[in-house]
Amino acid sequence: MPPPIATTFQDLIDRHAAILLDAYGVLVDLSGALPGAAAWVDELNRRGKPYWLASNTAARLPESAARRYQGFGLAIPAERILSSGMLLKPHFEAHDLTGRRILVLGPEDSQRYAELAGGVVVEAGADFDCLVVADQAGFPFLDTVDAVLSALIDRFDAGLTVPMVLPNPDLVYPTGHGCGITSGSIAVLIEAALAQRYPGRAGLTFARLGKPWPGLFEAAARLAGTRDLVMVGDQLDTDIVGAARFGIASALVPGVLTGNRRAVDGIEPTYLLHPAL
């Protein structure tokens, strides 16, 4: 694998047919737009370049996300937003979960994603057929995780299976003043507790939908009508590894989550990019 090429955003636009942008750590953090993000989006819009946000978040519907981005000065229309929440529908269809009772961890938009996917969203404490850990916000954390783990153990002790789905497999995200844990960390915690209680038993892991798994890349390639894509992201483990496995180029925007690492499992980004360029 050749070493990453230091490049500019303009160069990426010139080299590739369409651009995929990660959200957190590339365009925004919790507090607003990152330096240079508005200029990138303006340039894409001005040139009429095909682009999509390919975001692992399942906490906001595209319309809500677009409004929030626009509030930060990023002119991104809702139809340019692909999120891991949108992958619930094909997953539910493929795994016979349409019409089933779904317990969703996450804010209101996460619940809405599960409804739009054809699930019947139930309240905390009610019986459920499937667990979706969509986001780390929108509920009292420890009480909720304890209750969900207890409910899963009740079901697994009774010999039932409970499909568990994780739209956003990210473990951490940049908060703007450090790192925060993300829904993927909740799933890892639940998986570890279940693996300890039921050693060797199958079916105790989450189905993971977002990057680095191929769902978002497949959706983008379908919309773009090409695989000449470049994924611009800040996470080696999701954006860069996912793009490489899908067979497209990637550009790393080093940030708080990158640390000193520049490769995972020998996979390096195609390009290195700094927001100011």
Q: Quick check: 29 binds Mg ion (CB under 5 A)? A: no
Tokens 């020998």: give the residue. 266
Contact with Mg ion (CB under 5 A) among 29, 109, 234, 268: 234
Nearest CB to Mg ion, comparing residues 35 and 125: 35
Could you tell me the sign of the dihedral formed by the alpha carbons of 223, 105, 110, 55, in that order?
Answer: negative
Question: What is the distance between the alpha carbons of residues 228 and 249, in angstroms, rounded to a whole number?
Answer: 8
Which residues on neighbouring strands pair with residue 132, listed in sequence order? 104, 165
Nearest CB to Mg ion, comparing residues 83 and 111: 83
Q: Which two tokens mark 8?
A: 């500019």
Contact with Mg ion (CB under 5 A) among 9, 24, 52, 113: 24
Q: Quick check: 22 binds Mg ion (CB under 5 A)? A: yes
Cβ atoms of 64 and 106 within 8 Å: the answer is: no
| Candidate ranges 22-30, 126-134, 143-151, 267-275; the one touching Mg ion (CB under 5 A) | 22-30
The minimum distance between CB 235 and Mg ion, in angstroms, equals: 5
Name the nearest CA neighbour of 250 among 276, 277, 230, 229. Answer: 230
The minimum distance between CB 57 and Mg ion, in angstroms, equals: 9
Question: What is the distance between the alpha carbons of residues 137 and 135, in angstroms, rounded to a whole number?
Answer: 6
Helix (H) or strand (E) holding 103: strand 101-105
| Candidate ranges 18-26, 42-50, 85-93, 129-137; the one touching Mg ion (CB under 5 A) | 18-26
Q: Quick check: 25 binds Mg ion (CB under 5 A)? A: yes
Nearest CB to Mg ion, comparing residues 20 and 61: 20
Nearest CB to Mg ion, comparing residues 111 and 235: 235
Question: What is the distance between the alpha carbons of residues 60 and 38, in angstroms, rounded to a whole number?
Answer: 20
Residues that bind Mg ion (CB under 5 A): 22, 24-25, 234-235
